[in-house]
Copies of this chain bind each other. A is one copy, B any other.
C-alpha cells in the first residue's frame, strides 16, 4: 500500500517521530513522508509511533491508498525530498 504520513507533534517529541518515520518512509518535506509499505510494516510504524506520541497533544495523519497509480503528486516551489536528503 502507498502511505502518506503527516505529523503535528510537540517539539519535545518531534525528532523521535521523524526518526521513526524515516525508518519506514521517504522524507518529502518538513513533517511529511511517503512510501510503499506492506500491511505488516504499516502496523509496526503505527505501533512504534504509539510508544512515543502523546495522544492528547500530538497528531499523525495517514492517507492510505491501495495503489499509488490513483495518486498524482504536484509540487510548487522546491522539491525538497528530491534533493540530497536533509535533517
> B-contacting residues of A (Cβ < 8 Å)?
4, 6, 8, 28-32, 46, 49-50, 53-66, 70-80
Contact = CB atoms under 8 A, between A and B. Distances in A.
Given A8-B31, A31-B8, A31-B30, A62 B75 contact: yes
Given A8-B32, A31-B31, A59 B73 contact: no
A61 B8 contact: no
Contacts of A60: 75-77
A74 B32 CA distance: 15
Contacts of A80: 8, 59
A59 B46 contact: no
A4 B34 CA distance: 13
